[in-house]
Amino acid sequence: MSTSARISSRISRYGAASIVAVLLGVPFTAAAQDYPTQPVRVVIGTAGGGSSDTVGRVIADRLREKLGHPFVVDNRPGAGQMIGAEAVARATPDGYTLGFMGGTYTTSIALRAKLPFDPVKDLTGVARAGDAAFMLCVHPSVPAKTTRELIALARARPGQMNFASAGTGSITHLVSELFVAMANIKVVHVPYKAGPPAATDLVGGHVEMMIGSLPLLKHHADAGRIRALAVTSARRFKLAPDLPTIAETGVPGYEAMQWWGMIAPAKTPAAIITKLNREINAGLSSPEVVARLAAEGAVPSELSAEAFTASIAAEIARWRKLVQQLKLPLQ
């Protein structure tokens, strides 16, 4: 390829500002000050209308408004967000393909026998937009008013109590199994095809306990149809401040959160990652973003890119260990 052809190719890929920096011998990170110079694709690993899609579009709109170029959502659902994640992992690491994932991304990885990419080496965190605690609830017929009482009851009835989840291998299944393991109790798992039918059977008394999302369970608890015992966050959760944590009421060290965040190919220039992280974190304080997150049962997160990347790796390792302990079938 001729020199002029190579320059033309670089202009097409990175934009005029970046190639000027290259020709002048300026590091590419300096050119990142002008990023973006063209539309950016944001791959969301779920179908439209879900929580990841809802939060992801809010973040994409914020970036478009502040950075002056479209951040175009590309929904790539399937395989527990793995199809979308693979598309990001294989993309050119120039900042013009990003991903937006939810917390089930790490549990899906843990349940895969083999992946076409390395989620730790091939991808990096950009910004964690929101965190959501789950709620531990029981049917009112269960004579337990606290997490400690529930644990004592389950120990007195080993294998006789049950818990509902949104399906085998779902995030609500794994956060529940983590609770069961750390509490050292034996409880029967009752999987459903999704969270809403599981919650319906909890309200109806067909199952005794469930750990599920706040938007799914809180209005039932507020109406007295089920009893909320605790939340799964490490500290009391802003959207349910009256509820204690599982960690403080029976299982020290327990924490399991749903989250949403942006990822990128691993070799994306650090200056671009820093710029995106700064803009996303700044936008998390806006009333519109706070309200949209609250509708999903979430609060702003505002982690650094490095901290978010580390948290993803730690979650993958934790869920893989639990999946091995439970001997769950891999996909």
Domain map (residue ranges) of the chain:
3-132+258-326, 133-231
Confidence (pLDDT) at 302: 86
Please state, in angstroms and as integers, the Cα–Cα distance from residue 224 to each residue in 139, 220, 236, following that order.
10, 6, 21
1 burial via Cβ count (<10 Å: 0-12, 13-18, 19+): exposed
pLDDT for the residue 13: 46
**17, pLDDT greater than 60:** no
Instruction: Check whether 10 has a pLDDT greater than 50.
Output: no
Kindly tell me if the per-residue pLDDT of 5 is higher than 90: no
pLDDT above 70 as % of the chain? 91
Confidence of residue 304 (pLDDT cuts 50, 70, 90): very high
**Superfamily of domain 3-132+258-326, CATH level 4:** Bordetella uptake gene, domain 1 (3.40.190.150)
* pLDDT at residue 11, rounded to an integer: 42
- Positive or negative, the Cα torsion across 63, 66, 69, 70? positive
- 3-132+258-326 and 133-231 have identical folds: yes
Query: Quick check: 12 pLDDT over 70?
Result: no
Which residues lie below 8 Å from residue 44, measured CB to CB, with a gap of 6+? 52, 53, 56, 57, 73, 74, 75, 76, 84, 99, 100, 101
Q: Contact 270/29 with Cβ under 8 angstroms? A: yes
CA pair distance 301, 88, nearest whole angstrom: 22
pLDDT tens for residues 113-152?
999 999 999 999 999 999 999 999 999 999 999 999 999 9
What's the pLDDT tens digit per position in 31-80? 578 899 999 999 999 999 888 999 999 999 999 999 999 999 999 999 99
Q: What is the mean pLDDT of the chain?
A: 91
Q: What is the DSSP string of 251-282?
A: -TT---EEEEEEEEETTS-HHHHHHHHHHHHH
Q: Please give the span between the terminal C-alpha atoms of the chain, in angstroms, as a whole number.
A: 44
- What is the reported pLDDT for 329? 86
pLDDT digits 0-9 by tens, 200-234: 999 999 999 999 999 999 999 999 999 999 999 99
The hierarchical CATH code for the domain 133-231 is 3.40.190.10
Q: Which tens digit of pLDDT belongs to each residue from 176-209?
A: 999 999 999 999 999 999 999 999 999 999 999 9
Does the pLDDT at position 6 exceed 80? no
Stated pTM of the model: 0.85
CB 123 within 8 Å of CB 263: yes
Please report, rounded to a whole number, the percentage of residues in the chain having pLDDT higher than 90. 83
